Homo-oligomer: A and B are copies of this chain.
Amino acid sequence: METQTVTLQTPYLMNAWYVAALSTEVGPEALFHRKILDTSVLIYRKQDGTPVAMHDRCPHRFAPLHLGKRIGDEVACPYHALQFDCSGQCTKNPHGNGQIPKAAKVRSFPLVERHGFLWIWMGEAEADLDRLPDYRPLDVGHENGVAYTYMHMKANYELIVDNVMDLSHIDHVHGEIITTRGQLSPLVPQMREGDERISARWEWKQTPAMLIFANFMPDPAAEARMFFDITWAPPANIQLSVGATQNGAALDLEHCIGQYDLHTCTPETANTTHYWFATRRNHIEEDGDFNKMKIQAMHTAFETEDGPIIEAVHGEMGTPEFFSLNPVLMSNDAAPVKVRRLLKRLIAAESAAA
């Protein structure tokens, strides 16, 4: 007797840009592969550096193309050497009379390189660049002022979005470095809702400032005014700004010591997630050692503090259907719940249109 698991078809938002990889993850010669929304994807760069993406599966006998060979801008299957150009069209068949079967075509996916990431469009609708959020602040400034990292999580992606949308967790989950000393939890964030955007904002005072900023304050030990401002955009992007000041300046990155971050998730499957964050700071931007230390500290904080809790929640839930478990909702859930509900509506609308 054989058994097979049937995975329920989890409804992802398909007509959307997901991060497929960091720009730096795909080298000039690589045949990079990653599973995205349950589909095997091959990513490589043409000789001019342009990244391309296609289904990582030969249409002949289904061998993964990333096990094959680069031939100029094309890729040859590892099994019988059918060769495909970067649009997925078969260009060479070494078998028989060499005629190329009409069906010998691999599905290719629109791929765009922006803000240090490769963004992929997995849906059937035409790729729409207007739906790619604008994260240009990551691009502006010294190269040692920005850093990126990647993590693989054994959890549904919406749990990771929840974690960032509800920043009240930081006093409870994290250590001294980014604590608000209990100031954040009592606050009900100010919400803003836009066209497929949900934002939340917290403002508070603490003494001293978060330790990631305190040393850059005029008086490191004294009280500071601080803010968090986050904006979700579909499918799973959260832009987070955080800053501190000790004068009467406006609470924004132009006037505060702070940083501009992007958190972004891509479902690998319903139960596993690719998770990246990027961070650009507006202080000691040229210090490469500090830059390395900072991204490593953020990576470690997530991997050792948020990550184990999120994966444990995923294991305990046993389903991606959060609301089916009747969660007790509180004031700090306002933002993540709005995101879950909007995402559900967007997915439903997409399904209805299909």
Contact = CB atoms under 8 A, between A and B. Distances in A.
Q: How large is the interface on A (under 10, 10 to 19, 20 to 34, 35 or more residues)?
A: 35 or more
Contact of A328 (B56, B96, B103, B270): B103
A95 B330 contact: yes
User: Can you tell how many copies of this chain the complex includes?
Assistant: 3
Interface in A1-60: 1-8, 10, 38, 40, 56-57, 59-60
Interface in A59-105: 59-64, 67, 76-81, 93-98, 101, 103-104
A327 interface: yes
A222 interface: no
A166 B80 CA distance: 10
Interface stretch (A145-153, A247-255, A286-294, A307-315): A307-315
25 contacts: A1-B8, A1-B156, A1-B317, A1-B320, A2-B318, A3-B3, A3-B4, A3-B7, A4-B6, A56-B316, A59-B328, A60-B327, A61-B162, A62-B313, A63-B309, A67-B308, A77-B172, A78-B173, A79-B173, A80-B166, A80-B332, A81-B171, A95-B330, A96-B187, A96-B332
Interface of A: 1-8, 10, 38, 40, 56-57, 59-64, 67, 76-81, 93-98, 101, 103-104, 156, 162, 166, 168-169, 171-173, 182, 185-188, 269-271, 308-309, 312-320, 325-333
